[in-house]
Amino acid sequence: MDLAENSLKTRLQAGEVLTGIWLSSASSLMAELAGRAGFDWCLIDGEHSPQSLPDMFPLLQALAATPTPAVVRIPAAEDWMVKQALDLGAHAVLVPLVHDADTARRMASAMRYPPDGHRGMGAAMARASGFGAVTSYVHQANRNACLIVQAESRAALDNIDEIAAIPGVDGVFIGPADLSADLGFVGQPEHPLVDAAIDHIIARTKAAGKFAGILTFNPDRIAKYRDMGVEFLGVGGDVAIMGKALRALALQAKG
């Protein structure tokens, strides 16, 4: 049995703008709901939410019952976290806090089996291979590997050309909140100087032939980021959306 093509990676590399949502609630029910809502991808967040890699398993199962591919953001740039996210069946892995080319290179290698990388051989036990049912998995997985590294610091801004040039880095994702804080504008992710930095990262990423990503919780920024050339466009999060709706309802109910 052959491994199915990673359509998320293919579409992003073709320049399509794909919109998605952050899943931080650690709820498989919310994951299935989001997966059936019409987004192009859903991201299970392991950095800023109460879910470890094993906790993500039921969310990945829930998303598998929907048309929507699953992206996993691991908590840190650790090889073993990449390995587990891939074995669990993530269509793409987002790595936070990638400040330099050396880290990007190590993550690209961790995403791939030898001879292209150093991903550990355990496919027969992995959900990604259908627990061994996809017998060609280890020979075909490298072509599907989709690595997105997160540029969210002054160092990443300074090193963006070297980061984006690394073979095996498929996309660069900008974290506006952390980037703005590191640039001296805490709590101001829409500051004009932050926008200028974002625009620079997007331009250099696309010049390297890679796709660019970003997340916003402000609906008024969606069109702006699309116009700036973002292809992997996060447009909200389950916890933020639910919290806003609940607060509005509570206020309305009190008159």
Q: Which residues pair with 70 in a beta bridge?
A: 42
Out of 48, 91, 118, 200, which one is annotated catalytic? 48
Q: Residue 223 is inside which H or E element, if any?
A: helix 222-227
Q: Is the pTM of this model over 0.85?
A: yes
Residue 255 above 90 pLDDT? no
Name the architecture of domain 7-253.
Alpha-Beta Barrel (3.20)
Active site residue 191: no
Q: At what angle do helices 28-35 and 238-253 cross, to 10 degrees?
A: 100
Domain boundaries, the chain: 7-253
Q: Which residue has the tokens 């299935």?
A: 32
For residues 53 and 90, the answer to whether their CB atoms sit within 8 Å is no
Q: What is the mean pLDDT of residues 111-140?
A: 94
Q: What is the mean pLDDT of residues 137-155?
A: 97
pLDDT tens digit string along 170-208?
Answer: 999 999 999 999 999 999 999 999 999 999 999 999 999
Between the two ends of the chain, the Cα-to-Cα distance in Å is 60
Residue 1 above 90 pLDDT? no
- Poorest-pLDDT segment among 2-6, 75-79, 96-100, 241-245: 2-6
Cis peptide before 115 (omega within 30 of 0): yes
Q: How far is the C-alpha of 124 from the C-alpha of 145, rounded, in Å? A: 18
